[in-house]
Amino acid sequence: MHRPTHVQISLGQIAGNYRAIERHVGGVQLMPILKANAYGHGLEAVAARLEREGARCFGVAYVEEGIALRKAGVSCSILVLGGIIGRQIPLFLEHDLILTASSVDKLRAIEEAATAFGRKARVHLKIDTGMERIGIHWYSAGALLEESLRCPHVAIEGIYSHLACSDGEDPGPTALQLERFQEVLRFYERRSLPTPTRHLANSGAILQAPETWLDLVRPGILIYGVHPSAEVPRLSGVAPAMRWCSHVVYFKVVQAGHPVSYGWTWQSDVATRVITVPVGYGDGYFRAMSGKAEVIVRGQKKSVVGRICMDQLMVNLEAGEAYNGDEVVLLGEQGEARITAEDLAGWAGTIPYEILTNVHARVPRVYSDE
């Protein structure tokens, strides 16, 4: 490995998180969500480890992600959660991927393509119960469910919705969305038809809304050991799987009154020791954290000073010591000190999801099963 900046991924911890969530929800099936390069952890590597752990299905955002998993040898069911356009449908059929049908027109397009392909399309129906993103409105969903009964080349394997506020303190919005979803599901009861696999619960709902678990739950950020918000309960056995670190490449003494980095936004009143670390916003370490972030050097938290550059940042050691080659932890633990995704999100003015998914592809991932 040539680059001093890299991300360490514990596949063993991801597997441990999977088992902890599995214990928490009892006999309910898990669909780990692997979109956005498995939240920055590595799509193919995470999928392979979780398939070994017993996962029977995965969720991704785009058809390209599903194809990448098939090419990597993943054999379990893969649901593509995002919206589709007509020309993509044959790709789903070719690679045995499950489509999301979110409208009558899209369902008809799937039926037409499957007929031409000579194969049954695997489909989950998407109901919008309050997200206003994709999916047919719950109050119009009868038309979609009726149409599904008229599509001989479509196998409706599931029906689902997505919760908008499950990681908040107020349970009201989640209860309302669940009520709307159950109203839609009564379609099958009224016609004495078997109900497809029902799923609604994301990470927030897994932690605090067991009434939404139904037949399957979709853990996203929780699989990677990060809780979706500060408001939700902590789940025992779940811990972060990503550690982001770099190494010192330069040490200098900066004289009093000599500004550091672009714009000369920071200077010290006394001579101070400053190190340069080869990581920046081009790697996903947000420029917005300038003047706020901390890193860990020799077990001590030290401040990032001056503006974060595209490829480098500077750290004020004050009177501390560091040598070229010393490890610098950006995310994770060193000794007793710790920096979390929540810390980085707070400094950047964003959420932990964005921190994890924005670690750039040029940052090497190094895997262990510990």
Convert the pLDDT of each residue in 311-327 to its tens digit.
Answer: 999 999 999 999 999 99
Q: Among this protein's residues, is 18 annotated catalytic?
A: no
| Alpha carbons 254 and 277: distance in angstroms, whole number | 16
Q: Is the pLDDT of residue 145 over 90?
A: yes
Sequence ranges of the chain with CATH classification 3.20.20.10? 11-224
Task: Specify the CATH superfamily of domain 242-368.
Answer: Lyase, Ornithine Decarboxylase; Chain A, domain 1 (2.40.37.10)
**CATH hierarchy code of domain 11-224:** 3.20.20.10
> Whose CA is closest to 370, among 246, 241, 235, 227?
241
**Mean pLDDT taken over the chain:** 97
In the residue annotation, 35 being an active-site residue is answered as yes
Q: What is the largest CA-CA distance in the chain?
A: 80
| Tens of pLDDT, residues 247-300 | 999 999 999 999 999 999 999 999 999 999 999 999 999 999 999 999 999 999
* From 139, 250, 262, 323, active-site residue: 262
pLDDT value of residue 370: 85
**Which residue among 18, 35, 106, 224 is the active-site one?**
35
Boundaries of CATH 2.40.37.10 in the chain? 242-368
Residue-level pLDDT at 1 = 60
